[in-house]
Amino acid sequence: MIETDVLVIGAGPAGSSAAKHAAKGGAKVILIDKKSEIGSPKRCAEGISNNGLENLGITPNPKYIAKKIDGCRLVSPSGTDVWLTTEEIELPETGYTLERKVFDKFMAMDAAREGAEIKIKTLAKSLKKEGDSVILTCEHMGESFEIKAKIIIAADGPESHVSRWAGLKNVTKAKNMESGIQFEMCGVEFERENIIEFYFGSCAPGGYAWIFPKDDDIANVGLAVIAEDTDKSAYEHLKEFVANCPATQNAQAVELNVGGDPVGGLVKDLYGDNILVCGDAAGQVNPLTGGGIISGMNGGMYAGQVAARSIEEGDYSSKFLKEYEEIVDKELGKEMHKYLKVKEYALSLPDDELDSIADAFQDMDFEKISTTEIVKNLVKVSPKALLKLGKLI
């Protein structure tokens, strides 16, 4: 039987980050993924913030940066738009669109260079506890085998089988799982360059639609819906959106991407005896935007670091591993809770209220943007909307 200190399941951004930091901390690490090609197919709009990578100690490599982003455009159901770009306002942060198929591979390579052993096309099938270890049954091209580990890190993305096999109570309710769908398109006509666009309202019930540019006329054009909130499939919504949106009417799809995005906040159990959970599997996703690359990699880093310390101490108990939850709550949890509230508010607004808010913000002087200014504007357009916000916060 293969034996290791730390076994990471899933080589997405979260798992690769966990493997890298566990290896860096001195542990013997194996990282498995069922895919033939790490990072492919992509299930992502590929947007990240500028300092996200730098805060993780990663210098962005031009090989996986598709485009630099200078701001965003928010579009209400009637088409009224609000621009938040470096032209209008000094933004606290800007960002990039990535080439995830390259990025995810590079992150796994970083883990390998720290000493992690990678097994691709290796599917985790089941889990059992044995003494103070865990035994994972895997399958590789028809062959079944076992890996014995002192600690497993579940980074298996939105599927999140592993933590549930371990008995942790991490169920993603249907109302918290966005159904995401996206075309990568060419022939997209941008009003301004280097701007990511968000479209709100009934075009994407429970979520929003987006256009994230990747090159002069190339973009990820997608949306996410909550299935319970609509009678149409995500795909039908996307086809309608693409046909109606001026930017994409003449565009051609070259790729179709689908995927679930857990947007309900952190899962209940982030750890247990011999196990840590990170990334989408742990709900480490911004509930408002659905963005989970950077937060998942941060979660992965904390998990890898705590796992390495636990190996060093020879203590793999949930008591020792609890430190991970404390770090995650402090570094990610508080922020996520805030975004969850804002999302509840935003989703409670019908199309006409979204329109009147967008109208009011059109005339706003962004030089003077401040919370009081925003609240003043909200009072003007929709006392009802403000009341909702007040109740939530």
Catalog residues that contact other proteins under the rule CB under 8 A.
Answer: 34-36, 41, 43, 121, 123, 125, 157-161, 164-165, 171-174, 177, 179-181, 227-228, 233-235, 256, 258-260, 262
Q: What span, in angstroms and rounded, lies between the C-alpha atoms of 3 and 117? A: 12
CB closer to ligand FAD, 247 vs 263: 263
The single residue among 170, 182, 298, 305 that binds ligand FAD, judged by CB under 6 A, is 182
Does position 9 interact with ligand FAD (CB under 6 A)? The reply is yes
What is the pattern of x (binds ligand FAD, CB under 6 A) and - over residues 278-317?
-xxx---x----xxxx--x---------------------
The single residue among 30, 124, 152, 336 that binds ligand FAD, judged by CB under 6 A, is 124
Partner whose footprint covers residue 171, from other proteins, ligand FAD, none (CB < 5 to 8 Å by kind): other proteins
CB closer to ligand FAD, 34 vs 237: 34
Segment 146 to 175, residues that bind ligand FAD, using CB under 6 A: 155-159, 161
CB closer to other proteins, 28 vs 161: 161
Partner whose footprint covers residue 9, from ligand FAD, other proteins, none (CB < 5 to 8 Å by kind): ligand FAD
As measured in angstroms, the least distance from the Cβ of 363 to ligand FAD is 30
As measured in angstroms, the least distance from the Cβ of 352 to other proteins is 28
* Residues contacting 316, CB < 8 A, separation 6+: 132, 150, 151, 273, 274, 310
Segment 249 to 268, residues that bind ligand FAD, using CB under 6 A: 259, 261
* Residues contacting 160, CB < 8 A, separation 6+: 154, 170, 172, 262, 267, 277, 280, 281
Handedness of CA 140, 146, 152, 157 (dihedral sign): positive
As measured in angstroms, the least distance from the Cβ of 362 to ligand FAD is 26
CB closer to ligand FAD, 201 vs 259: 259
As measured in angstroms, the least distance from the Cβ of 286 to ligand FAD is 8
Q: The tokens of 389 are what?
A: 């916000």
As measured in angstroms, the least distance from the Cβ of 75 to other proteins is 22
3-state secondary structure the chain: CEEEEEEEECCCHHHHHHHHHHHHCCCCEEEECCCCCCCCCCCCCCEEEHHHHHHCCCCCCHHHEEEEECEEEEECCCCCEEEEECCCCCCCCCEEEECHHHHHHHHHHHHHHCCCEEECCEEEEEEEEECCEEEEEEEECCEEEEEEEEEEEECCHHHCCHHHHCCCCCCCCHHHEEEEEEEEEECCCCCCCCEEEEECCCCCCCCCEEEEECCCCEEEEEEEEEHHHCCCCHHHHHHHHHHHCCCCCCCEEEEEEEEEEECCCCCCCCEECCEEECHHHHCCCCCCCCCCHHHHHHHHHHHHHHHHHHHHHCCCCHHHHHHHHHHHHHHHHHHHHHHHHHHHHHHCCCHHHHHHHHHHHHCCCHHHCCHHHHHHHHHHHCHHHHHHHHHHC
CB closer to other proteins, 68 vs 140: 140
As measured in angstroms, the least distance from the Cβ of 140 to other proteins is 11
Partner whose footprint covers residue 11, from ligand FAD, other proteins, none (CB < 5 to 8 Å by kind): ligand FAD
As measured in angstroms, the least distance from the Cβ of 353 to ligand FAD is 26
CB closer to ligand FAD, 299 vs 353: 299
Does position 15 interact with ligand FAD (CB under 6 A)? The reply is yes
Does position 129 interact with ligand FAD (CB under 6 A)? The reply is no
Contacting residues toward ligand FAD, per CB under 6 A = 9-15, 32-35, 43-48, 123-124, 155-159, 161, 180, 182, 222, 259, 261, 279-281, 285, 290-293, 296
